[in-house]
A and B are shown apart, each in its own frame.
Chain A
Amino acid sequence: MNDDEMNDINVRELLPQQGKFVMIDWLRHIDETSVVSSMTVDKDNIFVDDDIFSESGIIENIAQTAAARMGYIGKYIDKKGVRIGVIGEIKNLVIERCPHIGEELTTSVEITAEIFSTLMIQAKVNIDNELIAHGSMKIALIDS
C-alpha cells in the first residue's frame, strides 16, 4: 500500500481503543521497520486542558501509532482481528513542550526489535520541523 492509499484507512478499525480514547487521526506511512501517524489537537480531545494537549496524551499518541501498525499487519497481512496492546515500559522519554489546540502532531515510530508479542520502539513527535518529544517504549500484545 502506498502512502496515498493510507488516506483511505480508518485507524479506528486498527485499534482496540475506541471513542474519545483514539489518539491518532491518520496513518501516513508504514514499512518493514517504521510507521508514521498524524493527529491534529482538537479542543474536545480528552487530554486537552486549558487549550494544551497533555504529556500523557503525547505518550498515548506514540503508543497508538505503534499499535496501529500492529493492527494494520493483523488486518491486512495476517487477516486476523485487532489484539489489545498495552505499554510495558517507557524509557528515556523527553517532553520538550506540550502542543496547543490546532497544532498537528506527526509521530514517527521506528521498530527497533520485535520479539514474539513484544515490540520495542523508538519514537519522535514533531510539530512541523520542531521535535517536541522523543523516547523509547516497549509495547506488549495481550490476549483478551
Chain B
Amino acid sequence: MKLLYDFFDYASITGYDENHTEYSIRLNAKHSIYQDHFPGNPVTPGVCIIQIVKELVSENRNRRLVLKKIAKVRYFKSINPVEYPVIFVSLTVADTDEGDCNVVATVFSGDVTFTQLSMALGRMG
C-alpha cells in the first residue's frame, strides 16, 4: 500500500533541523478508502495514519522503511477528511547505529491533537 500522491499529498514541508520536520498534508476525501471506512461516514483509518507517518519518514530519510515496532500510538480524535482536509504532522526522527529510525510524531490541526505516535522503523528485509 502506498498512500502518498493518492490518499494524501504534501501541502508544505518545514524543516527545523535534520531530525525535526513539520509537514502539512492534504487528505483526499474522494479516495475509495473513505467510501468503505465507513459508508456515509468518512473516517481516516487509524492504520492509514501509521502508514502516512511511515511514508513521510521514508521520504524524509530517502529510503524504504518498514514498521518494526510500535511503542505506543494514541488516537485522541478521529479525522474526518471533509472537516479537516489539511492536517499537520510534526516528525522527530532519531537514527540508530543499526540503521533503524526511532520516530516520534504528532498529528494535529491548530489546538486539536488527533494522534501521537512513537515507533521504530527499520530497513526492508
Please list the residues of chain A having a beta carbon within 8 angstroms of any beta carbon in chain B: 16-22, 46-49, 54-57, 59-60, 63, 84, 86-95, 98, 135, 142, 144
Docked complex Cα distance between A78 and B62 (Å):
51
Q: Is the CB of A63 within 8 A of B46?
A: yes
Q: Which residues of A contact B47 (CB under 8 A)?
A: 56-57, 59-60, 63, 87
18 intermolecular pairs with C-beta atoms under 8 Å apart: A17-B38, A20-B33, A46-B1, A48-B1, A56-B51, A60-B47, A84-B43, A86-B43, A86-B75, A86-B78, A87-B46, A87-B75, A89-B73, A90-B72, A94-B70, A95-B66, A95-B68, A144-B41
Tell me the B30-66 residues at the A interface (CB within 8 Å): 32-33, 35-39, 41, 43, 45-48, 50-51, 54, 66
Q: How many residues of B contact A (CB 8 A)?
A: 29
The residues of B with any CB-CB pair to A shorter than 8 Å are 1-2, 32-33, 35-39, 41, 43, 45-48, 50-51, 54, 66-75, 78
Known contacts A54-B1, A98-B66: does B35 contact A19 (CB below 8 Å)? yes
Q: Is the CB of B50 within 8 A of A88?
A: no
B45 A21 Cβ-Cβ under 8 A: yes
Given A54-B1, A89-B74, A89-B75, 10 extra CB contacts under 8 A: A18-B39, A56-B1, A56-B50, A60-B45, A63-B47, A84-B43, A87-B46, A88-B74, A94-B69, A95-B67
B38–A16 contact, CB under 8 A?
Answer: yes
Query: A18 CA to B39 CA in the complex, in Å?
Result: 7
* Given known contacts A59-B50, A91-B72, A84 and B38 CB-to-CB distance under 8 angstroms: yes
Asked if residues B36 and A18 are in contact (CB atoms below 8 Å), the reply is yes
Give the residues in chain A near B67, CB-CB below 8 Å.
55-56, 95
